[in-house]
Amino acid sequence: MLSIKQLQEIITNEIDQLQLPEYPAELYEPIRYLLNLGGKRMRPVLTLMGCNLFSDGIQGAIKPALAVEVFHNFTLVHDDIMDNAPIRRGKATVHEKWDANSAILSGDVMMVNAYELLMQVPDSKLRDLLTIFNKTAIEVCEGQQIDMNFESREYVGVNEYLEMIGLKTAVLLGCSLQIGALIGNATTEEAEHLYQFGKNLGIAFQLQDDILDVFGEPEKFGKMVGGDIIANKKTFLLIKAHELAQGENKANLERWLTTKVFKTEDKVKAVTEIYDQLNIRKLAEIEMQHFAEKALFHINQISLSESRKQPLVEFAEQLMVREH
């Protein structure tokens, strides 16, 4: 079986070789730019791993793995417009470097490209894979809309939040694995367990992201620590703190959430202190652990040797202890 590093290399090579037209340049340059910004290539690697779990040959999963990566990048380029984000992976976002119109339209083309790549599978699997992909694509859009709706709401519940990240982030990890599994000739049931593994892992992954944004070490995290606090982003941490804070903590939290003018380091420090007093980090870790365990439960339902499943288990463990 291939290591994660080997799988990442396969994906990177394939992306380098992806043929895109030259004309019109305003449409295809942003696509090349975005796909070459790098990233962990987590989703396509999961597709290859999902396939490799059931089959030694992974050749047939490579184009569908790219489909998932191209789709993911389509969501990034459109989300970045909606979120008004200037930076993606340390570089200017597409709508900043070109303009919003190019970002909308090159995103649209990437969506079609994703379908073209996904279709490079045998006829016998085509409909099933497209059906899973369609369902996931719609859920990802729903997740993004719900996330945007949260911005204008005063209070969001923990369960609503978990549902949102399930849609916006987690289902695509599940889908990536499920598609790979089916290409590797898994049964429907096995592929469904792998989907649930990926989805639950995705929720755990996002909770870890929320934790790292506050408690990560700046030099390892790769972006500014405390960004979510500064933006009042309704993460698991803030939602939980909102739920638990009483008395002085509650008043302080409210004040920091409504104060418009502040030194960023003051706000980050003050809100982090409130989180500490309410033991929020621990609670987030328990929640994360809960979803990681659900993920492992599902992979354990698949009747294959432990050694065969080892790379995926390892991948899950790495996600949970990562520092960036």
Q: Does 231 bind a second copy (CB under 8 A)?
A: no
One of 18, 85, 92, 104 touching a second copy (CB under 8 A)? 104
Closest CA to 71 of 151, 173, 181: 173
Burial class (CB in 10 A: 0-12, 13-18, 19+), 96: middle
Q: Which is nearer to a second copy, 59 or 134 (CB)?
A: 134
One of 14, 96, 108, 192 touching a second copy (CB under 8 A)? 108
- The Cβ of residue 29 has, within 10 Å, a number of other Cβ atoms equal to 17
Distance CA 142, CA 139 (A): 5
Q: At what angle do helices 42-54 and 4-17 cross, to 10 degrees?
A: 120
Q: Is 117 helix (H, G, I), strand (E, B) or coil?
A: helix
Interaction mask 17-46, a second copy, x per CB under 8 A? ----x-xx-xx-------------------
Q: Which amino acid is at 29?
A: E
Closest CA to 66 of 117, 126, 119: 117
One of 92, 111, 244, 313 touching a second copy (CB under 8 A)? 111
Q: Are 49 and 299 in contact (CB under 8 A)?
A: no
Closest CA to 204 of 270, 128, 291: 291
One of 148, 224, 251, 286 touching a second copy (CB under 8 A)? 148
Shortest gap between Cβ of 170 and a second copy (angstroms)?
A: 17
- Max distance between CA atoms of the chain, in angstroms, equals 63
One of 14, 142, 243, 285 touching a second copy (CB under 8 A)? 142
Q: Does 127 bind a second copy (CB under 8 A)?
A: yes
Interaction mask 52-81, a second copy, x per CB under 8 A? --------------------------x--x
Angle in degrees, CA 193, 196, 197, rounded to 5: 85
Distance CA 222, CA 165 (A): 22
Tell me the C-alpha to C-alpha distance, in Å, between residue 109 and each of 29, 66, 116, 166: 12, 14, 11, 26
One of 16, 56, 123, 154 touching a second copy (CB under 8 A)? 123
Q: Does 85 bind a second copy (CB under 8 A)?
A: no
Closest CA to 43 of 198, 149, 234, 166: 198
Q: Which is nearer to a second copy, 113 or 272 (CB)?
A: 113
Give 177's contacts (C-beta < 8 A, 6+ positions apart): 46, 47, 49, 50, 194, 195, 197, 198
Q: Does 131 bind a second copy (CB under 8 A)?
A: yes
Shortest gap between Cβ of 151 and a second copy (angstroms)?
A: 10
One of 6, 13, 59, 134 touching a second copy (CB under 8 A)? 134
Q: Does 112 bind a second copy (CB under 8 A)?
A: yes
Q: Does 157 bind a second copy (CB under 8 A)?
A: no
Q: Which is nearer to a second copy, 149 or 187 (CB)?
A: 149
Q: Does 243 bind a second copy (CB under 8 A)?
A: no
Q: Does 149 bind a second copy (CB under 8 A)?
A: yes
Instruction: Give 3-state DSSP helix, strand, coil % of the chain, rounded to 5.
Output: 75, 0, 20
Q: Which is nearer to a second copy, 233 or 250 (CB)?
A: 233
Shortest gap between Cβ of 288 and a second copy (angstroms)?
A: 26
One of 1, 32, 86, 138 touching a second copy (CB under 8 A)? 138
Interacting residues with a second copy (CB under 8 A): 21, 23-24, 26-27, 78, 81-82, 100-102, 104-105, 107-109, 111-113, 115-116, 119, 123, 126-127, 130-131, 134, 137-138, 141-142, 144-146, 148-149
